[in-house]
Chain A
């Protein structure tokens, strides 16, 4: 099965006035000219727009675009108890920022904080499925600080237990696919053992929903053996980074080699989310060339492996919020074209 989806977020602004309702609502609330409820309405509207544009582009699995998220870290930390939200830090190597959470008390989760937004997006997207997304415990602990002086392992596992309740609530709300975003392993490969412990806690007791572990912001394929052993249904990889960001220069040999490594490392039945479209550069991929260089050699290597065919999600290697809206739309169309080419040959 070969499907196309976003990795996570989608622009919540555009150049047309209709695409700026959320910005205007927030500005008005800042000036105390509007009720806070106007913000929620604007978020709803921008979420519906993000969902509609994904559907129009022909994607198979949609996201809510994370329109309501200020950043990937503080949005989740605010939903948990035990964190205080502090100053701005840069998000990895981007020129976007996140507010750093500081753990000041026991980390818990008192009430669901992602479920309502999931339900809203699922209703807007129906009949297309929506995947729920949560930032993973390792990334949250790495990007937070512990004002209590506890170890990172302690904080990570505390967060994993707290988020487990959210994942189970998402599952109960009908989320069949839940993505856990963990960009950190590509940056801190030494954390992979802690990731294993955290993931075990995070998915404990889940019965129906399938979990995607999505890495990004770099090449996590050196950790492939460890990632493949995690209790998840799909592993997400930044293929653009794995093949060298030069992109156009990425060779078919490199992609074939990566495909062989994936085929060798993945246990039967484990699917892949392949970040094959560069979500951080406006330069638009030409579908045929990108298919030949980045996608086809990987899928061919996976097919040669005996056993059931892996489920493959073709995606951008990052959320598309780094791009202006017109470029994000064009990238989604390129992604759908890649999916069509892949289905023609491998479905």
Chain B
């Protein structure tokens, strides 16, 4: 697919805006914890003792439960919870052409995953996540944010046995992700998040990551968001702001708000989805602590440009921890809203 170019520019503000709602919209990064029942079903499916249709029924039920949970907690911009996804790159690799999946490798601690291996030309075989987006959106009147893994991260987190060039592979993947994003927009997605957590670790490749993102978002008729985490932000800031998206969701809690100091060196010009609860800690932050983090973020961006979310996806926490963290996040945000 050729570069779409800037012809259908991001000019239709009305279509792209959130429905009128509260200040400091509450959202999440994408993944929610999988229940024991779902984990068992996925394991049974992997062993061949459960068929795909039965797994799908369970995944759908869990998706509905996840939507209900987000509604009841009081979130404003929902996600489908990724009940049908394993790892954020492997899931796409399993559903695109040109990949095989490796044996287990360690991510950190006692967590392991299967890594994509590029063995041929990567191609988009047709919609991958669209049916799940539609299903999730049918369950709620609140907007659902579509979540994709970005081309730079898909490239960086795969073993490349075919292209032999990081640039060629990243740009080929950008065309694939663009097609998926277009299909989501056609299905009604108004918010598309393109996760690029790998972007912050190779400052010398930030230009490549930006070029790849242009191929995904230029002229896309949706609000565009990216999520980046755990890396060397000082090395790529403020160049990072040239990523063609409207919002960055960033981890502020794990870094002790260190990122906010960085934004003092050069103004943060985008919308900020501030990560106000740490997803890698069992401890549930008290409302007061979360509130302080929100207020700290407000010193960097004005209220109309601030969203509130956890640092990262919640799938590494237990259901109880996630719910408690989100509950405090909502309570803290409501308290801050009253002061605005």
Contact = CB atoms under 8 A, between A and B. Distances in A.
Interface of A: 11-15, 22-23, 26-27, 30, 70-71, 87-90, 92-98, 246-249, 281-283, 321-327
A282 B102 contact: yes
Nearest to A249: B164
A326 B104 CA distance: 10
A324 B102 CA distance: 7
Closest 7 CB pairs of A and B: A324-B103, A97-B108, A282-B159, A283-B161, A26-B110, A324-B102, A93-B201
Interface string B153-177: 0001101110011000000000000
Contacts of A23: 110, 112
Interface residues of B, number: 33
A70 B198 CA distance: 21
A281 B159 contact: yes
A97 B107 CA distance: 7
B154 to A, nearest CB: 11
B104 A14 contact: yes
A15 B112 CA distance: 11
A27 B114 CA distance: 18
Contacts of A30: 110
B103 A92 contact: no
Contact of A90 (B106, B115, B164, B200): B200
B101 to A, nearest CB: 10
Contacts of A98: 108
Contacts of A87: 254-256, 278, 280
A23 B107 CA distance: 13
B202 A93 contact: yes
Contacts of B160: 281, 283
B103 A12 contact: no
18 contacts: A11-B104, A15-B103, A23-B110, A70-B109, A71-B108, A87-B254, A89-B231, A90-B201, A95-B107, A96-B108, A97-B230, A247-B164, A249-B164, A281-B160, A283-B160, A283-B161, A324-B105, A326-B103
A23 B112 CA distance: 9
Contacts of B165: 246
Contacts of A27: 110
A96 B160 CA distance: 18
Contacts of A90: 200-201, 230-232
B184 interface: no
A323 B105 contact: yes
Contacts of A97: 107-108, 230
B109 to A, nearest CB: 6
B276 interface: no
Interface string B113-138: 01101000000000000000000000
Contacts of A95: 107, 156-157, 197-198
B105 A11 contact: yes
Nearest to B311: A87
A135 B22 CA distance: 50
A325 B201 CA distance: 25
Interface string B275-300: 00010100000000000000000000
B104 A88 contact: no
A246 B102 CA distance: 21
Interface string B8-48: 00000000000000000000000000000000000000000
Contacts of A96: 106-108
Given A88-B254, A282-B117, A324-B105, 17 more contacts: A11-B106, A13-B104, A14-B103, A23-B110, A27-B110, A30-B110, A87-B255, A87-B278, A88-B230, A90-B230, A95-B157, A246-B164, A282-B159, A282-B161, A283-B159, A321-B105, A323-B105
Given A92-B201, A247-B164, A321 B103 contact: no
Contacts of B255: 87
B103 A327 contact: yes
Given A87-B278, A88-B108, A246-B165, A324 B200 contact: no
A49 to B, nearest CB: 14
A324 B106 contact: no
Nearest to A96: B108
A334 to B, nearest CB: 14
Contact of A321 (B106, B159, B201): B106
Contacts of A89: 230-231
B280 A88 contact: yes
A148 to B, nearest CB: 16
Nearest to A278: B159
Nearest to B105: A324
A324 B105 CA distance: 5
Nearest to B256: A87
Contacts of A283: 159-161
A30 B115 CA distance: 25
Contacts of B198: 95
Interface in B164-216: 164-165, 197-198, 200-202
B167 to A, nearest CB: 11
Contacts of A324: 102-105, 114-115
A69 to B, nearest CB: 11
B108 A13 contact: no
A282 B116 CA distance: 10
Nearest to B202: A93
Nearest to B251: A87
Contact of B105 (A70, A93, A246, A322): A322
